[in-house]
C-alpha cells in the first residue's frame, strides 16, 4: 500500500518552512530558511517579511513536490495565525495560507489550518520518544516574539492551549536579540549569545538582579536596562550571566507551575528552548529535583518549522477518513 503524504507550510516572523510527513509520522522532507535581516536591525516589518516569504515559497514547494509521488499527497496543512484564539493575526501567515490554498485547489485535496503555536507543540512531541499520554502537560513557547507558559490538552486533532504564565513585557528571545545586536551580532542573535555562554562559561558575576516570578508571571524590561548598562564595561561577561539567569528563571517557573497545577511533565519549545546552554543548565538543576520533569525536543524541531504543521494535517486527515467525511 502506498504511503499517504501531507505537506505542511509555516511562514512565521523570521522563517519560511515547508515539510512533508507520511502516514507513519516519518519526516520525508523538511526545509527552512531564516529571513535575512539587515545588519544592525532589530527585526523585519511584517510587509517585508511577507514579501520575502512569497519570494522563497515557490522554490520550496517545488522541491518538496519533487520528493514524492504527487498522486499520494492527500492533504495540505498550514499555520494561519499565531494562536488558535479569536483575533490572533499576523500578516506573515497569509503568505503561507495563500500558497497552501492554491496548492490545495490545484491538487483537489483537503486544506487544514492550525496555529503556529500548535505546530510547535506537535513538532516537539514528535521529536520525543514518549507518547503524549498525559491528559494535560505544561508547555513553554519560548521564541523571538513569545514567552508563554501554557496548559496543553489535545482534542484529537487540535491542541487547546491556555496561557498560565510568562512575560508581562518583552519576550526572552527579544531580549537576547537586543543584547546580541548591541554586541555587534546579526539578528536573530540568540545563537551567538548561546555560543558565548557555552564557550566562556558563567564566572559568577553579579551585574543582574534575580528575575522574580509572581504567580507564573515576570517582567524583563528591568533586566534589559541592567544588561545594556553593564555591557559598556563588562561586554560579553554580562551576556553570559544573562543566559544563566534566564535558565534559572525557566527552571523555577517550570517547578512553580508543575506544583501549582499538579502536572509533572513540562515541555519546552521555540528558538530559546534550542539553546544548548539553557538545556544543560535546566537539566543540571532538575537532576537535583525529581518532583517534575522538563522535556526538550530536538534543537532542529524546537525552533520554527513546518514538520509539526504537517503532522497535524496528517492527523486531521486520518480523523476525516475514519469519520468518512472525505
Enumerate the domain spans of the chain. 5-123+303-322, 131-296
Residues constituting the chain: 326
pLDDT score recorded for residue 157: 87
Check pLDDT > 90 for residue 33: yes
Q: What are the counts of helices (DSSP H) followed by strands (DSSP E) for the chain?
A: 9, 11
CATH topology for 5-123+303-322 is Nucleotidyltransferase; domain 5 (3.30.420)
pLDDT score recorded for residue 235: 80
Give the integer Cα–Cα distance in Å for 239 and 222: 15
Tell me the pTM: 0.92
Read off the pLDDT band of 34 (50, 70, 90): very high
pLDDT score recorded for residue 255: 98
Per-residue pLDDT tens digits for 116-164:
999 999 999 888 755 555 678 999 999 988 999 999 998 888 999 999 9
pLDDT score recorded for residue 246: 98
Say how many C-beta atoms besides its own lie within 10 A of residue 274's C-beta: 23
pLDDT score recorded for residue 310: 98
β partners of residue 29? 20
pLDDT score recorded for residue 319: 80
Question: Torsions phi, psi of 321, nearest 5?
Answer: -65, -45
pLDDT score recorded for residue 270: 92
Whether 207 and 226 have beta carbons less than 8 Å apart is answered as yes
Question: Torsions phi, psi of 248, nearest 5?
Answer: -65, -40
- Do 5-123+303-322 and 131-296 share a fold? yes
Check pLDDT > 60 for residue 324: no
Q: Dig out the grid coordinates for 6 from the structure.
A: 501531507
Percent of the chain scoring above 90 in pLDDT = 83
Check pLDDT > 80 for residue 322: no
Per-residue pLDDT tens digits for 250-279:
999 999 999 999 999 999 999 999 999 999
Check pLDDT > 80 for residue 320: no
Per-residue pLDDT tens digits for 78-107:
999 999 888 899 999 999 999 999 999 999
Give the architecture (CATH level 2) of 131-296.
2-Layer Sandwich (3.30)
Give the integer Cα–Cα distance in Å for 294 and 258: 10
* Closest of 67, 68, 95, 70 to residue 81, by C-alpha: 95
Q: Dig out the grid coordinates for 276 from the structure.
A: 544548548
Q: Is 250 exposed, middle or buried (0-12, 13-18, 19+ CB in 10 A)?
A: buried
Three-state DSSP at 220 gives: coil
Say how many C-beta atoms besides its own lie within 10 A of residue 267's C-beta: 24
Backbone CA torsion sign across 188, 192, 193, 194: positive
Mean pLDDT of 200-223: 96
Is the model more confident about 41 or about 171?
171
Q: Dig out the grid coordinates for 264 from the structure.
A: 509533572
Q: Dig out the grid coordinates for 204 from the structure.
A: 559568577
List Cα–Cα distances, 207 to 14, 218, 227, 245, in angstroms: 31, 19, 8, 11
Amino acid at each position: 500500500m502506498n504511503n499517504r503524504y501531507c505537506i505542511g507550510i509555516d511562514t512565521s516572523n523570521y522563517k519560511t518552512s515547508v515539510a512533508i510527513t507520511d502516514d507513519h509520522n516519518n519526516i520525508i522532507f523538511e526545509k527552512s530558511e531564516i529571513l535575512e535581516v539587515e545588519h544592525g536591525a532589530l527585526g523585519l516589518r511584517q510587509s517585508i517579511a511577507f514579501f520575502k516569504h512569497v519570494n522563497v515559497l515557490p522554490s520550496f514547494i517545488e522541491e518538496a513536490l519533487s520528493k514524492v509521488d504527487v498522486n499520494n499527497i492527500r492533504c495540505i496543512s498550514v499555520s494561519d495565525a499565531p494562536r488558535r484564539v479569536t483575533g490572533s493575526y499576523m500578516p506573515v501567515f497569509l503568505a503561507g495560507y495563500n500558497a497552501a490554498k492554491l496548492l490545495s485547489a490545484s491538487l483537489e485535496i483537503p486544506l487544514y489550518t492550525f496555529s503556529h503555536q500548535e505546530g510547535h507543540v506537535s513538532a516537539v512531541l514528535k521529536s520525543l520518544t514518549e507518547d503524549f499520554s498525559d491528559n494535560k502537560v505544561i508547555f513553554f513557547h519560548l521564541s523571538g516574539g513569545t514567552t508563554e507558559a501554557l496548559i496543553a490538552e489535545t482534542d484529537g486533532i487540535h491542541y487547546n492551549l491556555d496561557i498560565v504564565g510568562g512575560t508581562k513585557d518583552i519576550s526572552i528571545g527579544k531580549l537576547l536579540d537586543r543584547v546580541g545586536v548591541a554586541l555587534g551580532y546579526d539578528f536573530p542573535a540568540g545563537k551567538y549569545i548561546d555560543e558565548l555562554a557555552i564557550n566562556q562559561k558563567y564566572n559568577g558575576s553579579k551585574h543582574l538582579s534575580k528575575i522574580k516570578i509572581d504567580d507564573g508571571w515576570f517582567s524583563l524590561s528591568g533586566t534589559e536596562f541592567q544588561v545594556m548598562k553593564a555591557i559598556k564595561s563588562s561586554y560579553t561577561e554580562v551576556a553570559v550571566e544573562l543566559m544563566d539567569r534566564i535558565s534559572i528563571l525557566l527552571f523555577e517557573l517550570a517547578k512553580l507551575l508543575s506544583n501549582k497545577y499538579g502536572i509533572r511533565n513540562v515541555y519546552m519549545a521555540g528558538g530559546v528552548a534550542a539553546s544548548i546552554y539553557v538545556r544543560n543548565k535546566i537539566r543540571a538543576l532538575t537532576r537535583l529535583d525529581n518532583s517534575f520533569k522538563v522535556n526538550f525536543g530536538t534543537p532542529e524541531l524546537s525552533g520554527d518549522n513546518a514538520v509539526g504543521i504537517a503532522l497535524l494535517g496528517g492527523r486531521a486527515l486520518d480523523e476525516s477518513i475514519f469519520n468518512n467525511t472525505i
